[in-house]
Structure 1
């Protein structure tokens, strides 16, 4: 009538642990790659050219004729 209690399968717990550990390693690798890429891009940003600085200055400061 009464079923005996089921024994836990220790293999399932170890499998879950391994999957979680692998996912954490993959997430860490992606995080480090993205962080290193941002640092690299920040350090190696191309110097702005004179023409782009002049274009930005003319766009930022409209003349008095354009304001009216």
Structure 2
């Protein structure tokens, strides 16, 4: 009359554990890569000179000009 208790299948739990572990390893690799790249960039930043500052200002003004919508478009 009474059914015997159903045995739990541990396969699903192990599969979830493996997926979480792999995702954790991948996330750690990405975090370390980004952190080391920022550290490398901050240690090897080029010295800003007057000519490169002027070039940066010119590039910035060109970028803002390129963002303006064409005439006749809805604003």
Please say whether Structure 1 and Structure 2 have the same fold, judged by a TM-score greater than 0.5: yes
- Does residue 34 of structure 1 match 2:34? yes
- Does residue 19 of structure 1 match 2:14? no
Provide the C-alpha distance between the structure 2 equivalents of 1:2 and 1:28, rounded to a whole number of angstroms: 49
Structure 1, unpaired ranges of 5+: 57-68
Structure 2, unpaired ranges of 5+: 58-75
Q: Deviations over 1:40-63 (max 9, x none)?
A: 11001111113328xx8xxxxxxx
Larger Rg: 1
Aligned length: 54
**RMSD of aligned residue pairs (Cα, Å):** 1.9
Higher share of residues assigned helix: 1
Indicate the structure whose relative CO is greater, using CA pairs within 8 Å and at least 6 residues apart.
2
